[in-house]
Structures are given as C-alpha cells and as structure tokens.
Amino acid sequence: MSATSKSIHGEWSSRFAFVLAATGSAVGLGNIWKFPYITGENGGGAFVLVYLLCVVLVGLPIMIAEIMLGRRGRQSPVNTMELLAEQAEADPNWHYLGWLGLIAGALILSYYSVIAGWAGSYALKAVTGSFIDADAENIKLLFDGFINNPLQQVFWHSVFMLATMSVVARGVQSGLEKSVKFLMPCLFVLLMLLVAYAMVSGAYQQGLDFLFTPDFSKITGQAVLTAMGHAFFTLSLGMGAVMVYGSYLPRPVSIAKTAVLIAGTDTVVALLAGIAIFPIVFANNLEPGSGPGLIFQTLPIAFGNMTGGYLFGVLFFVMLVFAALTSSISLIEPAVAWLVENKGMTRYQACIWSGFTVWFLGLGTAFSFNIGSQVKLFDRTIFQLFDYLSANLMLPIGGFAIAVFAGWIMKTKDSEDELAMPHAIVYQVWKWVVSYISPAAVFLVFLHAVGVI
C-alpha cells in the first residue's frame, strides 16, 4: 500500500474533524474522573507541573509516532504493522504490536463500559433528585446498593455498549465524525458551565491555589511515575485507537501540528475538570485526595447540598457520559476495522461480533463488584485483572514498541516523508526524543507497574 493511498474505511472530512475525534478519544474518564483524584492524592500544583512535562516528553512524541504509523499503513493496526514491517525489511512479528493494541482496547472497553454505565446511572439519579439533601451515609448506601446489584450493572453496561456500537456501525464520517462533532462541543459547553459555577462556589481561589501552586516537597518518585503513566494513558496511546484514527487522516494534514493541538486540548480539559471540581470539593469541606470515589461518592454529597446543585449535578454526569462515549468509540474501532479487512464482514456485522465480544467480557467486570467478587485470578477480581493487564502491562509495552519502531526500525526517509516537518531540526529533535527519552520513560512506568521499582 502506498503512502498516498486511502483507507477502505474512508477518511475524516477535515483536519478539524480528526482533531475532534482524536481529542474525543483522549478526553474521557481519565480526564474528568481520574486526573482530579490523582492530583488530589499527589499534592496538587507540583504534580500538575510534572504531569505537563511528561505529556511533552513522553506522550506527545509517541502520539506523533502512532499517528504517523497509522497514516502510513492506512489499515487496522494489525495490518498496518505487518505492512510497515515489510517496508522496513524488519521482522514480520511486529504485527503482534497491532494485536497488542487491538486486544488492549477491547479489554479496556469491557470495563470502561461498566464504569461509563455508572455515570449514566448517576445522571439519571441526579435528574430524579436522589442527591438532594443527602449526607455521606446516604450517598454511600446509594453507591453500594447500585454496584452490589448485578442486574443494574449489566443493564447500564448494555445500554452504553449499544450506544457505542450504534455510532461505530455508521462508519467514519457518518458515525464517528458526526458523533464527535456533536458530543465534543457539548462536552466543552458543559465543562465551561461547571467552571463558571465553581467560580461562584465560594472556594474558587482555594481550588486554583491547590491546582496551580506547586509544593515540590509533596513530589515523590511514586508521584512522578504516576504522572508519567497518566500522561501516557490519557492520550489513548498504545491501544490502537490513535493508530486507526491516524489511518483515516488525509495526506496534506500536518501530523506534528495536529498532535500538538490534540495533546494541548486534552490537557486543557483535564485542567478545566480540576478547576471545576476542586472549588466544589473545598467549598463543601470534602477531601480532595479521596481517591476513585471522588466522582461517585464525594461530589454527589456536594451537589446534593449546594445551591444549584441539582442542575449542575445533572450537567456533570451527563458530561461524564459524553466524555466516556467519545473514548469508547475509538477503543472498539481497531477491532471493527480488522474484521472488515480480514474476514470480509460488513461494518454492521463487524460491530455485532466485536460489540458482543466486548459486552460479554464486560460481564466479568459487572459481576466483580457483587456476585462474582470472590472469583479471583492471580489474586485479582476480573475487573482488577483486566485493568492490570491492559493499563499496567499492555499499554506501556505497546507504547514502548511504537517508540522503538518509529525511532529505530522505520526507515528515516519514510518517517521524514510522512511527517513532512518544515525544518530538519524539528524532525531531528522528535526522532531523538522518540528514540531515547520516550521509550526510557515508558520503560520506567512499566517497571513501576510490575513492582520492580
């Protein structure tokens, strides 16, 4: 396949459409659910600075590489890596990198869908006034009652998967592109409304100080590795999503400039989420480092007891659903693309097979919190195992391999041609960073994830 060919699945209609789609893939629960609580756990402003540095040195160079590989191959990640390895006269086993991303994306979506279902359920609870005047005990009972109910877990997981596959089945421009053109502007509007509300919550300055005033005494080696890992995870790297989205990118579009815009927008959304959430937390004397429960157990208390909390509670959880949906459609796309290319399926058939497989895997997560909580493999529940395998092993290995392939295996003339950077020095800097800095950093994250450091 030549560098100028087009994907059989279609192309984004414009650079703007690709930026929205790739940003949507990056902007998800990681930005609005995870970033605020890990910032709270790691001391605030100093952690944010370390995170921003990691985005520049780790996330951005690998994102450029992954988009480049995708556009060069113009196929699903598996077939793209097979083709590019052949062009580079390299070991054909590089196609396993594509498989690694495809499987990681499916595993992540299987539990991501369950958590996104929680957001959908909480949006409905907010609409029905379940948080009004609720105290910590009421909210805990509400949360425990929900996750301990396997039927509710399966129902909301199924609803979210149906919504995801109904978008993906419509194709690149009619499905993926149209959805992100609606969902992403809505998400930004909702987020800005929440930021505006935080400005009048009474603790806005305290929230800003916590988020942007660095106290480097709170930075530990663990915090640095956490920031590095999250910078990698939040940009959807190593899971095939960015690669397959890159395969739909029109040739004239600058990959480097577009990647900078995507990474920048993703980071801004994460910071805005912190600006929206921390003033509300402080205004209600809640704990910013309350961990994963910040969204589902801490904020509902605040929304239930503040002026205007009913409306903004609804807006917050609707925004969370929108953010999750823009990510989920990118997670399943590599599998759908591979089935269409290799098994002769129509896009609808590929969506049915891949969607059902992911839905079935998701049952393991849905039951991990209730009737299946005692079922453990390697001393982990199904949810914990899927999360560990994908986020801690597959993604770092995938990101490391992408950096190595782009920096060491792919022919320089091919990467220069695909990136078409205006100045040779810019290309040389990217090549050096992606060859040395990025893989070393990702390798440290991997060693930390497996408990070596």
pLDDT of residue 229: 83
Residue with token string 């530990």? 220
Structure tokens that stand for 158 in this block:
């199924």
Residue with token string 């994963």? 292
Q: Is the pLDDT of residue 232 over 90?
A: no
Residue pLDDT, tens place only, 242-277: 999 999 999 889 999 999 999 999 999 989 988 988
pLDDT of residue 291: 62
Average pLDDT over residues 96-100: 98
pLDDT of residue 39: 87
The pLDDT confidence band at residue 3, using thresholds 50, 70 and 90, is very low
Q: Side-chain half-sphere of 205: how many Cα atoms within 13 Å?
A: 1
The pLDDT confidence band at residue 2, using thresholds 50, 70 and 90, is very low
Residue with token string 């029109």? 250
Average pLDDT over residues 79-104: 97
- CA gap 143, 140 in Å, rounded: 5
Using alpha carbons, select from 329, 376, 393 the residue that is nearest to residue 113. 329
Using alpha carbons, select from 78, 8, 76, 62 the residue that is nearest to residue 255. 62
pLDDT of residue 41: 83
Q: Is the pLDDT of residue 329 over 90?
A: yes
Residue pLDDT, tens place only, 307-323: 888 999 999 999 999 99
Structure tokens that stand for 229 in this block:
């890992």
Q: Is the pLDDT of residue 148 over 50?
A: yes
**For 13-27, 118-132, 289-303, which range has the lowest pLDDT when averaged over its residues?**
289-303
Residue pLDDT, tens place only, 46-88: 999 999 999 999 999 999 999 999 999 999 999 999 999 999 9
What are the φ and ψ backbone dihedral angles of 345, each rounded to 5 degrees? -85, 155
The pLDDT confidence band at residue 23, using thresholds 50, 70 and 90, is very high
Average pLDDT over residues 111-131: 95
pLDDT of residue 4: 52
- Look up the pTM and report it: 0.94
Average pLDDT of every residue of the chain: 92
- CA gap 68, 148 in Å, rounded: 44
The pLDDT confidence band at residue 290, using thresholds 50, 70 and 90, is low
Q: From the CB of residue 86, how many other CB atoms can be counted at a distance below 10 Å?
A: 12
Return the SS3 of 203. coil
pLDDT of residue 197: 87
The pLDDT confidence band at residue 30, using thresholds 50, 70 and 90, is confident
pLDDT of residue 37: 79
Cβ burial of 427 (10 Å; 0-12, 13-18, 19+) is middle
- CA gap 240, 109 in Å, rounded: 12
Element housing 194 (H / E): helix 178-199
297 within 8 A of 39, measured Cβ to Cβ: no
94 within 8 A of 85, measured Cβ to Cβ: yes
Residue pLDDT, tens place only, 341-381: 999 999 999 999 999 999 999 999 999 999 999 999 999 99
Using alpha carbons, select from 410, 310, 367 the residue that is nearest to residue 3. 410
Helices (H), ranges, 235-254: 241-246
Provide the 8-state DSSP code for 93: G
Q: From the CB of residue 161, how many other CB atoms can be counted at a distance below 10 Å?
A: 24
Domains, the chain, ordered by start: 15-449 (1.20.1740)
Is the Cα torsion angle 407, 408, 409, 415 positive or negative in sign? positive
Residue pLDDT, tens place only, 373-410: 999 999 999 999 998 899 889 999 999 999 999 999 99
Residue with token string 């058939």? 349
Q: Give the orientation angle of helix 60-73 with respect to helix 77-87, to 10 degrees.
A: 80
pLDDT of residue 205: 93
The pLDDT confidence band at residue 32, using thresholds 50, 70 and 90, is confident
pLDDT of residue 292: 63
Q: Is the pLDDT of residue 453 over 90?
A: no
Amino acid present at 312: F
